[in-house]
Structures are given as C-alpha cells and as structure tokens.
Amino acid sequence: MAVHAHPDDESSKGAATMARYVREGADVLVCTMTGGERGDILNPAMDRPEIKAALPAVRREEMARARDILGVQQRFLGFVDSGLPEGDPRPPLPHGCFALVPVAEAAEPLVRAVREFRPHVMLTYDENGGYPHPDHVMTHRVSVAAFEAAGDPDAYPDAGEPWQPLKLYYFASFHRAKYMALHEEMLRRGLDSPYTKIFEERLKTRGARKGGGEAGGEPEITTRVPCGDFFEVRDQALKAHATQVDPNGFWFSCPLQVQRAAWPTEDYHLARSVVDSELPEDDLFAGIRERVSI
C-alpha cells in the first residue's frame, strides 16, 4: 500500500517499484488522501479555462489513466486539497482542508483501508513530507498513525478487523547521490546535463544527513529496489497526469538509458518493522517473504 497526498504523487514517487511488484504478482493499492483540487496547472498545453473550471474531475480522470498504466488499485480517501500557501507571511490554510483535520480523525479512513486491503508493506513520506507541502506532511502523520493503530483492536473498533502491516517505508526519491550519478553519466556520454544549474544553485548550501527528520536534509537509504525495466511505465503514468506534468519538461530531460546505467533503483528508508531483515535491502518484502513461506 502506497499512501499519497495528491493524484500524480504516486507516479513521481515509487511508481516503477509498484509496477515491478504488480508484474511479479503482488496486489498493490494506492491510497490518495485528497483529490488535488487546489493543484496548479503546470503543463502550459493544459492551462485553459475549461480545464481550470473542471479541474477536480480532470484530475480524477488522470488518476484513472495512471492507475491503469501502473496496474495498481487506487482509491481516494475523500479529503480536500489544502493547496500550497505562498507569500510572506503565508496565508492561512483554507477551512476544511486536509491539513487542518485532526490526525486521529484523518487516520480513520486509512485504518479502514489497511484493514480491508491487509498490506504487508506500507509506503509514505518522511516527517518533512518529501517536501514541505502541508498535505504531504499531514500524509506522513496520518500514515504513521494508521500503521500503529490498524493492528490494535481497541483503536477504531468500527473500522474493520485488526490487521498489522509489517513494514513502513519512507520514499527517498530525490536525493543528491542519485542526481549526481545521473549528472556524471550524462557528462561521461558527452550530453548536456539538465542538473548542472541545480547543483550550482543548491549543492553549495545543502548538506546530506542521516535520518528523516531535519528540514533540508536527506533520508538514510536502507533499501534500493531494482526497477529500471519499469522506468518507461513510470514515465507513461506521469504523462497521464497531463495537468501536472509537461511531457517536454524537466521530468523527462534525462534519457532512460542514462537512468538505467547510473541509478536503476528506487530508494527507501525503512522507518518501522515488526520483522527481521538485514540492511541494506533490495526488496521491500525482505523478511516478509521468509516469514510468509514458513
């Protein structure tokens, strides 16, 4: 089970991993906490009045296409997008949005989904939300609360029979080592690297760290899942979110052959586990396959 804040998040974080496990026979469910109603239109070709007027419905249609491309199941859990507040000072969050719902209340539909789907593994964001969007941070809090409550018969007694997921991972999708490897591989091949400017602007001041909690740092990677064969499926799913992803934009500026050569994995931080596995891992089900097969 992958828990995400908005439609399109599932295609930019962990999509190739999900596609790989689906092809191997695993059942995969994406839980999308909000409908992405307040998202900006980031693809100029889709920035039209009729699209803006129907954005909630359009984003659901995009999610359906991406779901089918990845081969996953997906459900919306019914909360309203909080938007990304901008300005100094930042404006207050809109009334009734996901980020303002009490965590105990917001966790109930996710606990219900966990108990219905019965996942062995859950994926979500770290304490910073991967980046500090209020819905991403809230998704982290709700996911941790649901992981801890789903197996407790005294918690949410009306939300189904208890089920304890065995492992909880945080996405480590965007980190310095990966983009440095891609950058160096492009230069080695004589290609113009799209990452040059990023490194010039950011890497002077951004330091790596271990753990998941300090703003501006990077999570410790415990698990690297080989999934390079599914990068093309990931990109197709991303392009299905046409309001959010420009097919001529930065997401697709690094050739797939470069990605497969330089960094053919998607990466994770193992945050909680009730089974034993040896770190580092190359499989989200490490320690679970052995337990289930006994």
Query: What does the pLDDT read at residue 293?
Result: 53
Average pLDDT for 241-267 = 96
Please list the residues that pair with 169 across neighbouring strands.
123, 270
> What's the rounded Cα separation, in Å, for the pair 50 and 53?
5
Question: Confidence band (pLDDT; 50, 70, 90) for 199?
Answer: confident
Average pLDDT for 190-211 = 67
As a CATH number, domain 1-294 is: 3.40.50.10320
Lowest mean pLDDT among 22-31, 81-90, 206-215: 206-215
Average pLDDT across the chain, whole number: 93
Question: Confidence band (pLDDT; 50, 70, 90) for 204?
Answer: low
What pTM value is reported for the model? 0.92
Average pLDDT for 56-78 = 98
Query: What does the pLDDT read at residue 217?
Result: 64
Summarised one tens digit per residue, pLDDT across range 128-180 is 998 889 999 999 999 999 999 999 999 999 999 999 999 999 999 999 999 99
Residue 107: which region, alpha, beta or left (left: phi > 0; alpha: psi -120 to 50)? alpha
Inter-residue contact 250 to 194 (CB < 8 Å): yes
Average pLDDT for 71-99 = 94
Neighbours of 280 (CB within 10 A): 12
What residue spans define the domains of the chain?
A: 1-294
Residue 207 clears pLDDT 90, i.e. is over it: no
Average pLDDT for 209-224 = 64
Query: What does the pLDDT read at residue 198?
Result: 77
Question: Confidence band (pLDDT; 50, 70, 90) for 98?
Answer: very high
> What's the rounded Cα separation, in Å, for the pair 85 and 133?
8
Neighbours of 84 (CB within 10 A): 15
- Tell me what percent of the residues of the chain surpass a pLDDT of 70: 92
Residue 46, both tokens: 């889709």
Inter-residue contact 29 to 67 (CB < 8 Å): no
Inter-residue contact 178 to 263 (CB < 8 Å): yes
Inter-residue contact 268 to 220 (CB < 8 Å): no
